[in-house]
A and B are shown apart, each in its own frame.
Chain A
Amino acid sequence: MRARKLSGLTYRCFRERRMPFAICLSICVLFGITFFSENYAANSILQRKMTYGYHNGAVFDIGGAEEKRIRNHRAVTACGRMDIYGEILDPANGAAGSIGAVDESFQKMEQLAFLEGTYPARDNEIAVEEAVLDELRCPYDIGSTITLNIRYHLDGIEKKVKKQYRLCGILENYSAHWKNEGYPLCGAIVSEMDGLSRQRHIFFCSEYREEQQMEELKWLLTDRTRHENQIVYNSYSFPSEIDSLSDAAEHGFVIGIAILLCLLFILAVQLREWKRQRYGLKVFRLLGAGNRTLGCILMKNAVLQWLIWCAASISVCSGFALARFLFLSHQKRKIPYIISAKPYVYAVAFSLPVVVVGKWLFLLMMKRAEPVPSGKGVGKYEDGGRVGRKKRIKFSPDGFRRIEKQRMRKQFGLELAYCVAAVSILAVCVQEICGSCHDYAVNSIVNSYDYQWTAYGMSGMDMWQIQQIKNTEYMECVDYASCFYSDMYERFSIRYEGMEADPYAELFQPGDAPETEGMDISIVMLPEGSGLWEYYFPENCMEKDAFLRGEQVILYLPDMMKSKGRSTAVNILAVNSGYHGKNVLRSSVRQGTEIQICTTGHGTARTRCGYVMKKYPGEIQSGRDILLPGTVLISENLYRKLFKTDEIKYNQVMAWGGPQLSYDVSDKKMSFVANTPDITFVNTRLEREKYRKNFRMNAGLLGGTGVFLCILCLFLIYRNRLEFLEAEQPRIRIFQLLGMKKAMLSRLYERHFMGWLILYSVLCNAALCLIRLEHEYAGVITAGTLANRWKTILRLGMYRFPWVLCVAVQALALFGMYGVGISKFTRRRTVELVEQPRHLAG
């Protein structure tokens, strides 16, 4: 009975008028964020499927038993069949694509995107992939008749037939998104196959609810006769390369941020009434109520409030969801609408802990409301506790200020600690975000094209092949050169005057070779027409004609560093950042030095050094990085002279293209150009996507957390300062009664605060920078004096992070914190010398 009465009393005394608002807001925010993220995810999936097709898994060349197992697997939601029976031949009798049929369930999965038209429904109809049409030089008109040369096998006999079809659909280049490992996919789809199925592929959609199921699916298909890689995933729709932790973080951070935001609402609301509440608690304690009992009762009040307002908020949310549904149902564009129990469950399940934690934090912040002040904390004298001085200070104006400083030490120390914490958190977060932003930016520059196609091989290509690649549609940039690394065919070396005494040259000598053998190098032949020419040739530093004639060469001899652990080591990163330390070795080769290029299989050539390249031309290393330290760049003429040949082959060919240059297209169009197996196709767009995702995730997760923690620190500073100034009021009143000047009073309380903040901030950043770089480049930066180390760190730091952003954010936070303190102080400092009697106040 007593407890109930007390509960009723406390409810009235500690009622926070704005709390219902905060609870409603929290629940609505949680609901809204979950609702929108769920719908956003559904929309993304739809968009992705519309763009790249619905299939997210396939098994090529599948057998009957396996097909059955896949169809029956619990993770598989839909399954379609594709049969290949023959090949379409181009005019030169080469294979332009495969021809086959798909079953009805495949069509129902409705996911091969058509540029125009649809699946074939009649015998003479055909749907053809865009790239195949392009290859066959067929018209793109739906309804037009096309004649195809088809090769297939029937009863073990190869048949070639010429058949006319009516073009009923043009497929987007879907096969570009599949790593089909050489298994052909349908370039043309007919309704009825003329021959027997040569290969059967199964395409399936899996829900991908959990990693385990997919693993299980993988294992199911990986039996003794089948290799694992025959099950493949559409890399766009199946994010197999994103690990589960990142995935969880990406999806979890939204709700995490929402929870933190709600916590802030609750705390902010309570803060407004903390003084009244604290006083109330003191009085209740004085009257005999236990701190614990009061805490429990307040918590109960909070839960009661939550119960009442939760119901109201959920009703509002439901109304909102219904309104959105009604709105979307009138939209022409198909926008997925999902309303599941998840937002409701999340809103209810997370808001209660948020309210309870918020209340609990608030109670902690109010400290223990003791009925008789304990004399702890700021403003002890007011509470009657003993406040002495640690050491004798001669009483003088300066001494007085020192005494005051000493007294406020704890207060300012605490504020500084919060500031340092906030600054550190921000620094770490911003640096991490900047790091991922930098990676993304670098990757965007390096992989500026959507697709990269490289051919590197021993045989190399002729100029006419290069020209054909250049003339290929969608090919935007083609770079080529010839690279010969020592020991690839034979050994290459250079000799120059004084080489025997040059410690730099020793780095490039194989252990078993005598010193007179020369310095091991790589040779790169740089053709004038290649894109690499502009990238590497130093137009302003050497004569172009001399280089082309072979009278001069370019040497890439970067500064090298010795490391403690090993005899020598090369640190490209440090070299590119211009590191100069004691243990750095520099080449003695200068412009004009006469050098002899030697090959073990062909001969030698005498030339001069036209230019010594110390580092890569661009700040960022790009896909054009073909140089190793110790490389000589020569012209075509010198190449002919050195290798005694007139035939020039380019074994390093890199081509870049736009979104149309998919693997499928490039494969089909390039295979006839380069008869080399060393073709590498890189989907750089996907790489970029990964970096972008990483950057966005970092920005959201770390940014949100960082900002929240900073706001929390601000909140603590605010509360701390508020409490301090409250306790300081009598003291300030005494000073004012004794006629202390306002300026003096201000100086006393605002002393050096900003200076200390900046100092702490700088030290904190420097320490973070040191820790991070030591961690990142451990084992690389091993030598040098402390000054050199700092120099390197600063240079690498500048290279690594956009510091301006980092400093700007911190400065903003610092001023924010300072501003909070000062504004609050200014208000509190103005103490009424005489308080108006309450009984007369009206």
Chain B
Amino acid sequence: MNTPIIVCRNLKKTYGNRQRKNEVIHGISLELEKGTFYSMIGKSGSGKTTLLYLLSGLLKADGGEILLEGKNLEQMTEAELERIRRKKIGFVFQDYQLLPELTVRENILLPQILDGQDLDEEWSSQILEKLGLTSLADRFPDELSGGEQQRTAIGRAIVNRPDILFADEPTGNLDNKTSEEVLDFLLSVHREYRPAILLVTHDLDLARSAEVVLHIADGRLLEPGKAGGEQ
């Protein structure tokens, strides 16, 4: 068994105000192991995106604790969280979130710039090659298709060799064929570099590709299923 990278216990999250409270996460406990590909599936409004944001430290939980490699995210300062986002975590979003003024290669290298590292051109070339973007390296995002943009976003997410990759409905804006391509790239990235991946989706077929499928409904985690559709 792999060592857990993220452990959360009795996680709770409530939206709203005093008069009207909406508890969207009801005491979820979970362990994400290093190098494992997780997918999280659930209906709209079931709390899957909120859980992802909580696990990545983008949202503060109202109860429970989240440990990233043994360190409590809740007790971390803003600067520490920033450092974790630069070094340990990679994000892939549904709307890509690329900078239009930067080329594909530059977008991929951006996290290194923000981290103050020397640019690793060789590594970026490898990523470009792996993602099939070598020929598009000097193009701007608005010259790319949705799938290509998402592949660029994946490249950007892994350039700093994160321990965990959060993907929030990365295929939400894409057609089936492109979605499959993106999933293939995520799988190949996982195979190659072995980061833990948490893929949030509501597409059951995509979710089945993961090693572990997490079901979430009404803010509660159902029994985890195994790959191949065991639920």
* CB closest chain-A residue, reference B124: A395
Give Cα A396 to B114, complex, Å: 10
B61-90 interface code vs A (CB 8 A; 1 in, 0 out): 000000000000000001100111111000
Tell me the smallest distance from the CB of A402 to a CB of chain B, in Å. 11
Of B17, B86, B113, B156, the most chain A CB neighbours within 10 A belong to B113
In the complex, the answer to whether A842 meets B16 with C-beta atoms within 8 Å is yes
Q: Which stretch in B20-28, B208-216, B220-228 binds the other chain?
A: B20-28
Q: Among A389, A833, A836, A841, which residue has its beta carbon within 8 angstroms of that of B101? A: A389
A390-433 interface code vs B (CB 8 A; 1 in, 0 out): 00000111001001101100000000000000000000000000
The interface residues of chain A lying within 8 Å CB-to-CB of B16 are 840-842
The answer, yes or no, to whether B91 is at the interface (CB within 8 Å) is yes
Total number of A-B contacts with CB less than 8 angstroms? Answer: 93
In the complex, the answer to whether B15 meets A739 with C-beta atoms within 8 Å is no
Q: Which stretch in A581-589, A672-680, A728-736 binds the other chain?
A: A728-736
The interface residues of chain A lying within 8 Å CB-to-CB of B116 are 397
Q: Which stretch in A448-456, A740-748, A809-817 binds the other chain?
A: A740-748
In the complex, the answer to whether B21 meets A842 with C-beta atoms within 8 Å is yes
The answer, yes or no, to whether B169 is at the interface (CB within 8 Å) is no
Tell me the smallest distance from the CB of A737 to a CB of chain B, in Å. 6
Give Cα A742 to B114, complex, Å: 11
Tell me the smallest distance from the CB of A838 to a CB of chain B, in Å. 10
In the complex, the answer to whether B100 meets A381 with C-beta atoms within 8 Å is yes
Tell me the smallest distance from the CB of A223 to a CB of chain B, in Å. 84
* CB closest chain-B residue, reference A836: B15
Q: Among A395, A404, A734, A742, which residue has its beta carbon within 8 angstroms of that of B105? A: A395
* Given known contacts A740-B114, A741-B79, A388 and B22 CB-to-CB distance under 8 angstroms: no
Give Cα A381 to B143, complex, Å: 13
The answer, yes or no, to whether B3 is at the interface (CB within 8 Å) is no
Give Cα A386 to B137, complex, Å: 17
Tell me the smallest distance from the CB of B99 to a CB of chain A, in Å. 7
Q: Among B53, B85, B99, which residue has its beta carbon within 8 angstroms of that of A381? A: B99
In the complex, the answer to whether A737 meets B85 with C-beta atoms within 8 Å is yes
Of B87, B102, B156, the most chain A CB neighbours within 10 A belong to B102
In the complex, the answer to whether B83 meets A739 with C-beta atoms within 8 Å is yes
* Given known contacts A739-B85, A739-B111, A407 and B101 CB-to-CB distance under 8 angstroms: yes
Give Cα A834 to B16, complex, Å: 14
Give Cα A577 to B111, complex, Å: 62
Interface size class of A (residues with CB under 8 A): 35 or more
The answer, yes or no, to whether B115 is at the interface (CB within 8 Å) is yes
The answer, yes or no, to whether A837 is at the interface (CB within 8 Å) is yes
The interface residues of chain A lying within 8 Å CB-to-CB of B103 are 395
In the complex, the answer to whether A740 meets B109 with C-beta atoms within 8 Å is no
* CB closest chain-B residue, reference A744: B114
Give Cα A387 to B140, complex, Å: 9
* Given known contacts A744-B114, A840-B22, A842-B21, A403 and B119 CB-to-CB distance under 8 angstroms: no
The interface residues of chain B lying within 8 Å CB-to-CB of A407 are 101
In the complex, the answer to whether B101 meets A741 with C-beta atoms within 8 Å is no
Give Cα A836 to B49, complex, Å: 12
In the complex, the answer to whether B97 meets A734 with C-beta atoms within 8 Å is yes
The interface residues of chain A lying within 8 Å CB-to-CB of B105 are 395
In the complex, the answer to whether B111 meets A738 with C-beta atoms within 8 Å is yes
Q: Among B58, B119, B156, which residue has its beta carbon within 8 angstroms of that of A833? A: B58
A376-391 interface code vs B (CB 8 A; 1 in, 0 out): 0000110010111100
Of A386, A406, A739, the most chain B CB neighbours within 10 A belong to A739
In the complex, the answer to whether B15 meets A738 with C-beta atoms within 8 Å is no
The interface residues of chain A lying within 8 Å CB-to-CB of B58 are 737, 833-834
- Give residues 17-51 of B contacting A (CB, 8 Å): 17, 19-22, 24
**10 contacting pairs across A/B (C-beta < 8 A):** A386-B142, A387-B100, A395-B102, A395-B105, A400-B106, A406-B101, A736-B82, A739-B84, A739-B86, A842-B17
Considering the complex of A and B, which 4 residue pairs feature the smallest CB-CB distances, nearest first?
A: A842-B16, A739-B86, A739-B85, A842-B20
Residues of B within 8 A of A (CB): 15-17, 19-22, 24, 53, 58-59, 78-79, 82-87, 91, 97, 99-103, 105-106, 109-111, 113-116, 119, 140, 142, 156
Q: A842-B16, A842-B21 are in contact. List 14 more A-B contacts (CB 8 A).
A: A384-B142, A395-B113, A395-B119, A400-B110, A400-B113, A403-B101, A404-B101, A406-B101, A735-B114, A737-B97, A738-B111, A739-B114, A834-B59, A837-B15
